[in-house]
Amino acid sequence: MLDFSKFLKYSKPGPRYTSYPTALEFSDAYGYDEYIQKIQNQDPSRPLSLYFHLPFCRNACYFCGCNVVFTSKEDKMLRYIEYLKRELKILSSHLDCNRQVIQMHFGGGTPTFFTAEQLKVIIDEIKSYFPNFIDGAEISCEIDPRHIDEDQMRVMSEAGFNRVSFGIQDFNEKVQIAVHRVQPYEVTKNAMDLARKYNMVSVNVDLIYGLPFQTLETFKETLRLALTLDPDRFAIFNYAHVPWMKKTMRKIDETTLPMPDEKLQIMQYTIDFLTSHGYKMIGMDHFAKPEDELFKAIKKGELHRNFQGYTTKGGADLIGVGLTSIGEGVDSYNQNFKDMKEYEKAIDDGKLPFERGVVLNEDDLIRQYVIMELMSNFKLDIRRFEKLFNIEFKTYFADAIEALKPFAEEELLTMDENYIECSETGTLLIRNIAMPFDAYMKKHAASKKTFSKTV
């Protein structure tokens, strides 16, 4: 059992490190012309990973931190498809679209809020610009089980989609009502059956702990029910309560949120429960069956992390298309406009809808490597790092090594000349363990309204 009093002192705001530097460092100092030059000068031998943001939802789920547009009007969705087409046309004038595509992901919002016919139009348009999807490319879609039918699943299957991710969050009705997302077990089961019928290679389910009215006992039942669906992967997220950023979160009564010690108990039980049923913990919030490629990647120390979560598809340039989408190059991040009017105006002006980003300096690239290795593989090979960057690790990161000593003393990690490696319990605090390597943390240390809490 965990010593919860030991862990509670680490409950403080910290990044989730889907990128380093984090999105807080994005700014308009990285200008449009520089961005265009970056994508024009990308190495043509590097493959592409494509992300398409389909932002529409019918109603708000109060826990959601995504950039969404609430609507029930079809004309808005048809208009968005036309702008996606125009964005792709402009993008093709700057980017070599004949490069290999190894990954594509539809995120949202609710991508399957679009009809089967509309999804087919979007997919056909994409493939007209990007003709070189490799065999076995990972093509995935986030799905709200309340908004999926057989025609949509058939269209995706015929287009080569092989992974889907179903949002569940929690099966407890009281919790569902509190977060404004009522989704009976049968609805999710029907969606899962469709995915299997149409031969999705991997089916992921998302759960969230830390939601209102959740307890260890209620979450045990959610896990039991979720296991009956036999997913290939679980993503178990720690709810990030950031009402200063997301207005819908203000509808959640904070007094109903579980305390950090309860959340730790939920996470510890989740780890024990899923590992006892054949799943392996991958990264800080994923679990996969042993035959899953994520499991194989972590065994080899080859797991990667980006804005789409954990992936085996490293070494690719990420191209974000659509409202608020984020892209990633070798030494830069870029983000499209979050406001629909600004997004449309840029495209009307014949420009890509780029708003802001950041170009990474040498120190950023060094720290990015360390943080992402820890976040992905819970382990840093110091000798490999020194060979890659021609830097003496203990000198460059003397302050970080000092900051990690308490973690080592509490047996949350081990450190020697060759490795930094998290213990099994230390993985629960991987965000805290990565933070000493973050050069920007001092700038944000005084603010309590910057990041969600790590525990």
pLDDT value of residue 6: 65
**What's the whole-number mean pLDDT along residues 250-256?**
94
- For the 20-321 domain, the top CATH level (class) is alpha beta
Fold that domain 361-444 belongs to in CATH: Arc Repressor Mutant, subunit A (1.10.10)
Residues 310-353: tens digit of each pLDDT? 777 778 999 999 999 999 999 999 999 999 999 999 999 999 99
The C-alpha atoms of residue 322 and residue 67 are separated, in whole angstroms, by 11
| Residue found under tokens 């899923």 | 274
pTM for the full predicted model: 0.92
Q: Is pLDDT of 1 > 60?
A: no
The C-alpha atoms of residue 51 and residue 203 are separated, in whole angstroms, by 19
- CA 43 distance to own-chain centroid: 25
Distances (CA, A) of 104 to 101, 124, 279, 316, 419: 8, 13, 25, 11, 34
Residues 358-389: tens digit of each pLDDT? 999 999 999 999 999 998 888 999 999 999 99
Angle between the 382-389 and 362-377 helix axes, to the nearest 10 degrees? 160
Measuring CA to CA, which residue among 254, 267, 185 is closest to residue 226?
Answer: 185
Angle between the 74-92 and 340-348 helix axes, to the nearest 10 degrees? 40
On average, the pLDDT of the chain sits at: 91
Angle between the 185-197 and 150-158 helix axes, to the nearest 10 degrees? 30
Q: Provide the token pair at 179.
A: 């977060």
Residues 185-209: tens digit of each pLDDT? 999 999 999 999 999 999 999 999 9
pLDDT band at 149 (very low <50, low <70, confident <90, very high): very high
Domain boundaries, the chain: 20-321, 361-444
Q: Provide the token pair at 207.
A: 């759960």
Please provide the DSSP assignment of 316-372 as one string: -EEEEESTT-EEE-SSEEEEE-SSHHHHHHHHHTTS--EEEEEE--HHHHHHHHHHH
